[in-house]
Amino acid sequence: MKLKLNDKVLAIAGKDRGKSGKIIKVDHKHGRVTVEKLNMRTKHIRKTQQRAGEKITYEAPMHASNVMILDPKENKPTRISYKKLANGKKERISKISGISLDLAPMEAPKGEKKETKTPSTSKKKTIKA
């Protein structure tokens, strides 16, 4: 399977067609992915003597063929190709822009700045009487 954890994908089939989200779980054995806020289901929990009944909504897994990875530069659905690196590892490449998909999630999105904590420089004021 060409999809990995934290990839941004677009649903191309099903009731959530056209919506995008981040992959939060990958099941390689069954070829399914769980995408954040897509394919939402409701589960009813029966009440017991210890707790009240409730409704739980959760993301259900969907088949990997129903999603396409989004190109980090163009933000459009794209296919994936592979490029062999000098150290022998494979790298996933976007077919649209040619950018590496393995490095894309680590970069900060455009328009957002990373917050850096700086030590406080507050000075104590002393009052002389």
Cβ atoms within 10 A of the Cβ of 49, count? 4
pLDDT (0 to 100) of residue 103: 78
Q: In the chain, how many domains are there?
A: 2
Tell me: do 48 and 98 sit in the same domain.
no
- On the 0-12 / 13-18 / 19+ scale of CB atoms within 10 A, 54 is exposed
Domain membership flag for residue 113: no
Sign of dihedral through CA atoms 26, 62, 66, 41?
negative
Domain membership flag for residue 120: no
Domain membership flag for residue 118: no
Instruction: Name the stretches of the chain with pLDDT < 50.
Output: 106-109, 112, 114-116, 118, 122
Tell me: do 25 and 38 sit in the same domain.
yes
Q: What are 44-58's pLDDT values in tens digits?
A: 999 999 999 999 999
pLDDT (0 to 100) of residue 30: 96
pTM of the model: 0.73
Tell me: do 52 and 91 sit in the same domain.
no
Tell me: do 66 and 79 sit in the same domain.
no
pLDDT (0 to 100) of residue 1: 82
Tell me: do 49 and 2 sit in the same domain.
yes
| Cβ-based neighbours of 28, under 8 Å, separated by 6 or more | 1
